Amino acid sequence: KAEIEARTITEDGQVFLQKAAQDGLETVWDRYQAQKPQCGFCELGLSCRNCSMGPCRIDPFGEGPQRGVCGADADIIVARNLGRMIAAGAASHSDHGRDLVEVLRKVGEGHAPGYTIRSEEKLKKVAAEFGIAADGKTPADLAVELAHAMEEEFGTRKKALTFLGRVPEKRRAIWDKLGITPRGIDRETSEMMHRTHMGVDNDWQSLLLHGLRNALSDGWGGSFIATEVSDILFGIPQPVPSEVNLGVLKENQVNIVLHGHNPIVSEMIYEAAQDPELLALASEKGAEGINLAGLCCTGNELLMRRGIPMAGNHLMTELALSTGLVDMMIVDYQCIMPALGEIATCYHTLMISTSDKAKFPHMAHHEFHPETAQSKARELVRMAVENYERRLPAKVLPAPNTPTRMMAGFSVEAILGALGGSPAPLIEAIKSGAVQGAVGVVGCNNPKIRQDFGHVTLTRHLIENDILVVDTGCAAVAHAKAGLKVPEAAALAGPGLQQVCKSLGIPPVLHMGSCVDNVRILDLAAALANALGTDISDLPLAAAAPEWYSEKAVSIACYAVASGIFTVLGTPPPIFGSPKIVKLLTEDIEGLLGASFAVEPDPEKAAARIEQHIRQKRKALGL
C-alpha cells in the first residue's frame, strides 16, 4: 500500500496499480525498479557510444580515464550527448509538423477526403505571414501554396524561419549576434548529427550554441507549423468543458482510447464515431454509444477542439488497459510505451498502430494515409464496436471515482478573446500586481517522481501566489485530475488572481494544448513583449517541467530559455558530468540570453525559485 502511494498521488492510479498487480501485469514502475541502480556514467552524461572505437566513459572522480579513445573529454562528451537529445526531440516535433503539412497540401489538391479547412481565418493569416496573397484564391489554392511554402521551411534555402516574424526585434538581434538564428528545420537537426560525429565540433560551447539553434528550429519552426496547421485543418481551440481520469471509460459503451500525438488519425476516428450506421451497430451489440477518450497529446488535441475527455497522462497509459474496459486503443506516435501491446493481451483490447513510421509488438498495423483515412477510420470503429461483446467480465474493474470536471481549449485566440480581443487587460493586471506573472508548467510524467506530485505541488504554490499558470501536455492532465481546471478552482488562488479569474469566468490554470502547443505559450509571450515594445526576457514569466522524461522535453526547455524564459527542470538532465556545462547553462547563459536553466527536483523549492525570479523581473520593470 505504501509502495503504491509512493508511485502516484492519483486515486485511480493507486486503484489500478493494485488491479494491474492482481492481473499479473508488469508496469513502467516495476520495470524502473528492475533497472535500479541505473548507470551512473549515463546519468551524468559521461558515456559515449558515438563510434566503434568506443563505447567510452569518463570517470567522474578523476581516478579512471578522463578521455575517450578519440580524446574527447567530459565537456565534449556531455555537450555532444545533450546535442543529440535536442536533435531527437526537435526531429520528433518537426516530423509531426511535416505530416500535417502533407495533409494540408492533399486537402488543397483534393486528395484527402474527409479532411477539410476548418479555419479559413488562420489559413489566411498564416499565408499572409508567408507572403502569399489571398486575393481571388480559393481556400484549396491557398492551402496548396502555403503547404509548399512550409515545405521550404524544412530545407536549406532560407536564412531564417518565417515564424521568426513574430519574435520581438530585441530577441532576434540576440540570436543574430550569437549566430543561432534558426535557418531550415531539418538543416539544424542534420547539422547537429554532423557536429556530434567523431571528429567534428569539439568545442563544448559551440556545440551548446548549436543545440540552442536546433531547439529554436523546433520551437519557432517544426512545432509552430504543427500547431498552426492543426488549427487550420481542425479548428482553433475555444474554451470547452470536459472530464478526466479513468472514470471516463464507460462500462455500458464501446470505449475507444486514442493515444499518441498527431490529430490526423484521431480526428478521422472522431468523425467515424458519429456515423449513425456505426452507432446503430453499437446499440445492436448492446452498447449505449461509442465513447472516445484520450491519452497523452493525441488526447489533448481532441480535448482542446472537441471536448473529448482524457483517460489520463503518460503513466496512466498501461493502467487504462487494466480496467478491462478498453475495446480498442489506437496509437499514432511518440510516448507510446512498447510494453502496451503485450499488456493488452491480458484483456480483450484490440491494439492498433496507424503510422508508417511507428510499429509496435502485439499491435495490428492499420496504416493511415490522407487518401484513405476516412474509410480506414470507419473500418476501425466498426472493429471496436464488434469487440465490445468480447469483454472479459472477470477482468473488468470500473474506476471507483467519478471523472473530474475540467475546462480546456485556451488557444492564444481564445485567451485574447476572453480578454476582449487584446492583451491590454492582461498587461494591466500584471502591472497592477493582481497577476504577478505567468508560468508555463509543462511536460511529462516520469516513474522517478511520484506521479503528478511535481506538477500539482508546484502549480498550487504558484497560483496561491497570484501567478497565472498555463500548461500543456501531461502536466495539464495532472492539473485537471487535481481539479485545478475548473473556474471554481479560483478559490485556491491568491486574492488578485482569484479576482481576475472570477471576473473572466476562467480557471487559474489554463490548458493551452499538446506538447507542440508549447508554441502557443511562446506566441503569447511574444505578443505581450511586442505590445510592450520589450523583449520576452523582460517579462515576469517562467517555465517548468517538473516530471519531464522525453528528448522532446529537452528541446522544449532549450527553446524556452533561448526565447528568454527562465526554465526549471524537475528531473536532472544528464549534464552533471561537466561542471563547466552546468555553470554555463544555470548561470553564465543569463548574460547571453537573459534567461537560464535551473534544476530543482523539490517542487516547493522550485516554486520559491520561480516566485523569486518573477519578483526580480517585476522590480526591473519598475512594478
Site residues for ligand SF4 per CB under 6 A:
48-51, 53-56, 68-70, 72, 77, 198
Contact residue for ligand WCC among 9, 296, 319, 512 (CB under 6 A): 296
Q: How far apart are CA 109 and CA 144, in angstroms?
A: 7
Distance in angstroms (rounded) separating the CA atoms of residues 333 and 248: 23
CB of 96 to ligand WCC, least distance (A): 11
Of residues 329 through 388, those in contact with ligand WCC by CB under 6 A are: 335
Residue-wise DSSP of 434-490: SS-EEEEE-----TTS-BTHHHHHHHHHHHHTTEEEEE-HHHHHHHHHTT-SSGGGG
- List helix spans (H) across 179-275: 185-195, 204-217, 223-234, 263-272
Please tell me the count of residues contacting Fe ion according to CB under 5 A: 3
Which one of ligand WCC, Fe ion, ligand SF4, none is in contact with 219 (Cβ closer than 5 to 8 A by kind)?
Answer: none
Q: Which of ligand WCC, ligand SF4, Fe ion, none lies near 297, with the C-beta cut-off 5 to 8 A by kind?
A: ligand WCC
Residues 441-470 that bind ligand WCC (CB under 6 A): 443-444
Nearest to ligand SF4 of 39, 53 (CB atom):
53
Grid coordinates given for 72 = 574527447
State the binding partner of 42 from ligand WCC, ligand SF4, Fe ion, none, CB within 5 to 8 A by kind: Fe ion
Residue 39 as a binder of Fe ion (CB under 5 A): the answer is yes
- Give min distance, CB of 192 to ligand SF4, in A: 15
Q: Are strands 56-57 and 290-295 parallel, antiparallel or unpaired?
A: unpaired
Find the shortest distance in angstroms from Cβ 86 to ligand WCC: 14
- Bridge partners (DSSP) of residue 57 are 47
Q: Does 42 bind Fe ion (CB under 5 A)?
A: yes
Scanning residues 380 to 399, which ones bind Fe ion (CB under 5 A)?
none
Q: Which is closer to ligand SF4, CB of 71 or CB of 155? A: 71
Q: From CA 68, how far away is CA 91, in angstroms rounded?
A: 28
Q: Is 293 exposed, middle or buried (0-12, 13-18, 19+ CB in 10 A)?
A: buried
- Which residue's CB is nearer to ligand SF4, number 23 or number 73? 73
CB of 606 to ligand SF4, least distance (A): 34
Residue selected from 100, 101, 501, 515 as contacting ligand WCC according to rule CB under 6 A: 515
50 belongs to the binding site for Fe ion (CB under 5 A)? no
Select from ligand WCC, ligand SF4, Fe ion, none the partner in contact with residue 47, using the beta carbon and a kind-dependent cut-off of 5 to 8 Å.
Fe ion
Cα-Cα-Cα-Cα dihedral sign, residues 473, 478, 480, 484 = negative
Residue 245 interacts with Fe ion (CB under 5 A): yes or no? no
What is the rounded CA–CA span in Å between residue 48 and residue 71? 12
CA pair distance 415, 239, nearest whole angstrom: 9
Tell me the window of 44-52, 119-127, 215-223, 529-537 that interacts with Fe ion (CB under 5 A).
Answer: 44-52
Choose, by CB under 6 A, the member of 473, 513, 564, 603 that binds ligand WCC.
473
**Interacting span for ligand WCC (CB under 6 A) from 396-404, 428-436, 547-555, 585-593:** 547-555
Question: What's the start-to-end Cα distance of the chain, in Å?
Answer: 49
Q: How far is CA 615 from CA 430, 496, 620, in A?
A: 12, 15, 9
- 196, 537, 550, 596: which one binds ligand WCC (CB under 6 A): 550
| Cβ–Cβ < 8 Å for 461, 614 | no
3-state secondary structure 237-252: CCCEEEEECHHHCCCC
Looking at beta carbons only, is 297 or 595 nearer to ligand WCC? 297
CB of 444 to ligand WCC, least distance (A): 3
The total of other beta-carbon atoms located within 10 Å of residue 534's CB is: 16
- 474 binds ligand WCC, rule: CB under 6 A: yes
For residue 248, give Cα distances in angstroms to 243, 255, 336, 384, 401. Answer: 7, 9, 20, 17, 10
Q: Which is nearer to ligand WCC, 102 or 471 (CB)?
A: 471
Q: Is 49 in the site for Fe ion (CB under 5 A)?
A: no
CB closer to ligand WCC out of 308 and 584: 308
Q: Choose from ligand SF4, ligand WCC, Fe ion, none: what does 556 bind? Cβ within 5-8 Å by kind.
A: none
Element (H, E) at 427: helix 424-432
Q: Whose CA is closest to 486, among 300, 301, 312, 242?
A: 242
Is residue 424 at the binding interface for Fe ion, with CB under 5 A as the rule?
no
Is 47 an interacting residue with respect to Fe ion (CB under 5 A)? yes
Based on the shown chain and the rule CB under 6 A, indicate whether residue 297 belongs to the binding site for ligand WCC.
yes
Cα pseudo-dihedral 442, 181, 225, 547, rounded to 10: -10
State the binding partner of 39 from ligand WCC, ligand SF4, Fe ion, none, CB within 5 to 8 A by kind. Answer: Fe ion
Q: Applying CB under 6 A, does 555 fall inside the site for ligand WCC? A: no
Decide: is 552 part of the binding site for ligand WCC (CB under 6 A): yes
Calculate ∠ Cα 509-238-402, nearest 5°.
60
From the CB of 264, what's the least distance to ligand WCC, in Å?
A: 16
Asked whether the CA dihedral 189, 191, 195, 198 is positive or negative, the reply is positive
Rg (CA), the chain: 24
User: Which positions touch ligand WCC (CB under 6 A)?
Assistant: 296-297, 313-314, 335, 443-444, 473-474, 515, 550, 552-553
User: Which positions touch Fe ion (CB under 5 A)?
Assistant: 39, 42, 47
